Amino acid sequence: MQVTRIRALRGPNLWSRHTAIEAVVTCDEGERDLRTTPDFEKHLRELFPSVGGLHANKPSVPISMAHAVELTALALQANAGCPVTFSRTTATEEPGVFQVVVQYTEEAVGKAAFEKAQALCQAAAEGGQFDVNKALADLRELDEDERLGPSTGAIVDAAVVRGIPFRRLTSGSLVQLGWGSKQRRIQAAEVDRTSAIAESIAQDKDLTKKLLHAAGVPVPMGRPVSDEQDGWNAALELGLPVVVKPQDGNQGKGVTVGVSDRAHFNIAYEAAVKYGGVMVETFLPGHDFRLLVVGNKLVAASRRDPPLVIGDGVQTVRQLVDEVNKDPRRGDGHASSLTKIRFDTIAEARLAAQNLTPESVPVKGQRVVLRANANLSTGGTATDVTDSVHPEVAARAIEAAQMTGLDICGVDVVCETVIKPLEEQNGGIVEVNAAPGLRMHISPSFGKGRDVGEAVMSHMYPDGDNGRIPVIAVTGTNGKTTTVRLTAHLLKAQGLRVGMTNTDGVYVNGRQIDSGDCSGPRSARNVLMHPDVDAAVLETARGGLLREGLAFDQCSVAIVTNMGAGDHLGLNYITTLEDLAVLKRVIVKNVSASGMAVLNAADPAVAAMAPHCPGSVTFFAQDGTHPVIDTHRAQGRRVVFIEKGDIVCAEGKFEKRLPLSRVPLTRKGQIGFQVENTMASVAAAWAVNVPWEAIQKGLASFISDLHGVPGRFNIFDYRGATLIADYGHNPDAIAALVAGVENMPSRRRSVVISGAGDRRDEDIRGQTRLLGAAFDDVILYQDACQRGREDGEVLSLLRDGLVGAKRTKRTQEVHGEFLAIDTALQMLGKGDLCLILIDQVEEALAHIRKRVDEAHVSTSKPGSRPTTARQQQRRSTMSSAQELPVGALR
């Protein structure tokens, strides 16, 4: 068995909506059917009984070693406490090669489980040993390190329930909620709108007390001290017992309560000074309560009891603590609902105050307190008392939070009971805490858990807002970039700030922030993370889908332009049009329930995606009588089609007409593929409620030039000839371009073309086969990057496609894209048409623009005369181009 590739699919993908590890596993002949080696499954189950029967579900189907690894990786994660349920193994067209997919909740854990599964299966195959218990312990530890802590996790879980998207920004607890201009951020239980000043106030215990006292909130008396002696003097001034604690601290670190003698004080001071300045304050008798305030509401309250054990007259204090720590709810960190009780100098000092040591045997029923403070992080317990809090106590807690300016505030109160006002029982607020721990309220030791995560969500996203902006995903074989750009333009016409990704770059509100092919999930995530984006239009290419999955959990609109074979087959085990359709429909399957799929009704593979959409469907096609359009419209559903020179948008009795004569992109409807791109864009804008006035305005102002859609049917006038530059690079795109130029008058047609080396041979030949029937002259040039092909190999395939050409009379080969362009321009005469299929989009367009401008300048000079076609042809023979008569190709 050999694993040749492992990918982390971080969003909805070809296989499922789950995040998953995808691996390519190659099995030798003896590993392709484990029924031939029955001892393998026996050994595997002896080593790891939880893996279950490999042939349990399909006893008659051959199960390979790849299947065994899949099931083992899933079982390892499940037994380590990870909530995973999905896995799958699929055979490829290559014998013995399988794609294995296993769900994960934390990427690092998923990858580690897959590696351990390989080792475990290898051990089973060889009859060796494998320590499953250690493997599971390692996975549990890794999972605890990787996953969100209980506080952040509770907030994120509440966001998921509300349908609010989230993205973890760091390996810690910094999380983005929502998208674009609706995004918010949290870190642990602290929100982005909490000011640094408020947090600073909460950290300064002395300043906090002064502010609360000024607001009439009862607080214990006390002051910061400069050293140990000053602290003891302060303790005597206040009156024993006292509380010694860090001036800036959290989670009960360094806090000692009930200090009543100098020896105990010295130990308490040493524990507190480790964290900075020290405070000494009056000890308030009573219980320790934590009140949680979110916004202007008290949402939860717990009584916290210190860590303690009950004597049985037999065991020592240390043994009693060990017994309590066996409780499965107690862990070493903050991920579990309770924390283990620990022995340290503070615990030993507290025992000494009770005339005990760790080795003492307390009498039966004796309460032995290990700490005076009751923080859960030091082993304490929590009892929910939310429903018992007196309104006046709640009001004091809210005042404390508002006085410090904290949106989420943990208010520590010491009093006998929360059912009476603090003033009546000499109680007080001893601390306020920024980013308070939430686990005591989520999973209290006793009593009812509170949904504090939802309280935080209601504060951050009131009125049921889900933090989402319109997201329009666009895929297909051809027309994606034009559709993306036009759709973004229509949204912009409404006044929205639009984020856009495509094969040219990333754009936010009209400004390019990245360049290159940005049609993958990373670029999409960057757009969704940008705070100035009100709506996103994302080109979703095949490569990114296969590599990582989608960048979003669901979209508002999914557009599928068409489904040609083109340049998308033969890579990554996508070998048929059916395979490609399954991949492309991923965006359709992940449309929101209230969203819309915009599908090409004239393309059977695209139209067949409709049943997979969880939302509604808009069909578009130029033919309004197409059966799919006709049936959909009869059912009262949305359709977009062409009738009498208008784009017709219909739903039930509603109908809106948009004249094609006012859509420059389509040249008054002459360019068929641009008409289809326009219909798709209009349908998407309609789906997200762009006003019709804005749609009409956007259509009229969108020009197919270097700025609007660079490299997509850009038209120039060159000395009276029509020059078209386009990035078409597969047979389907070429067919659409040929159909477009057929509607444009011309005296003579020429084309400049190269081919990408990573396409199939038949696709490269297919491009020139189409061109040979439509153009008089063909100029071939070699692409700047051969993409794995030998020098001249692509040109040879392009020549093969011209064999027997119906129209082409002359073919030339030119080495270099710019020289090929210049050669074509020299041949042009007035009334001619030249299609240039560019490779280096920006550079080639700049070169063409320069030549067009030079021609304009030369013809505008007094006395200048345009160069004749005969003169241009004479010059072409002086270039370095190699001219080949078509007969030489036969």
Q: Which pLDDT score is estimated for 562?
A: 94
280 forms beta bridges with 223, 244
For 174-187, the pLDDT digits (tens) are 999 999 999 999 99
Q: Is the pLDDT of residue 448 over 90?
A: yes
Q: How far apart are CA 63 and CA 60, in angstroms?
A: 9
Dihedral sign (CA 601, 605, 610, 613) = negative
Distance CA 1, CA 380 (A): 51
The architecture in CATH of the region 714-889 reads Alpha-Beta Complex (3.90)
Q: What is the mean pLDDT of residues 690-716?
A: 87
Query: Which of the listed ranges 260-269, 279-288, 372-381, 597-606 does the model predict with the highest average pLDDT?
Result: 597-606
- CATH code that applies to domain 221-283: 3.30.1490.20
Residue 128 CA from chain centroid, whole number: 41
**Do 817 and 840 contact (CB within 8 A), yes or no?**
yes
Tell whether the model's pLDDT for residue 881 goes beyond 60.
no
For 474-524, the pLDDT digits (tens) are 999 889 999 999 999 999 999 999 999 998 899 999 999 999 889 999 999
Instruction: For residue 777, list its beta bridge partners.
Output: 750, 810
Structure tokens at 195: 């000011």
Q: Express each pLDDT in 634-680 by its tens digit.
A: 999 999 999 999 999 999 999 999 999 999 999 889 899 999 999 99
Closest-CA residue to 826 (of 773, 783, 870): 870
Cα radius of gyration (the chain): 36
| Interval 213-263: pLDDT, tens | 999 999 999 999 999 999 999 999 999 999 999 988 776 778 888 899 999
Q: What is the secondary structure of 652-703 as a DSSP string? A: TTEEEEEEGGG-GGGTTTT-HHHHHHHHHHHHHHHHTT--HHHHHHHHHH--
Domain boundaries, the chain: 2-146, 221-283, 471-701, 714-889
Give the pLDDT score at 117.
Answer: 97
CA gap 730, 563 in Å, rounded:
12
Asked if residue 241 has a cis previous peptide bond (ω within 30° of 0), the answer is yes
Residues 262-301 pLDDT 10s = 999 999 999 999 999 999 999 998 999 999 999 999 999 9
CATH 3.40.1190.10 given to domain 471-701: yes
* CA–CA separation, 819 and 876 (whole Å): 11
Residue 886 has a pLDDT of 40
Look-up: residue for tokens 């899933």? 74
| The pLDDT of residue 469 is above 90 | yes
SS3 at position 262: helix
pLDDT of residue 336: 67
Element counts in the chain: helices (H) and strands (E) = 29, 39
Q: How far apart (Å, rounded) are the C-alpha atoms in residues 76 and 110?
A: 9
Residue 634 near residue 624, CB atoms below 8 Å: no
For the CA atoms of 116, 118, 123, 129, the dihedral, rounded to the nearest 10 degrees, stands at 0
Confidence label for 202 from pLDDT (cuts 50, 70 and 90): very high
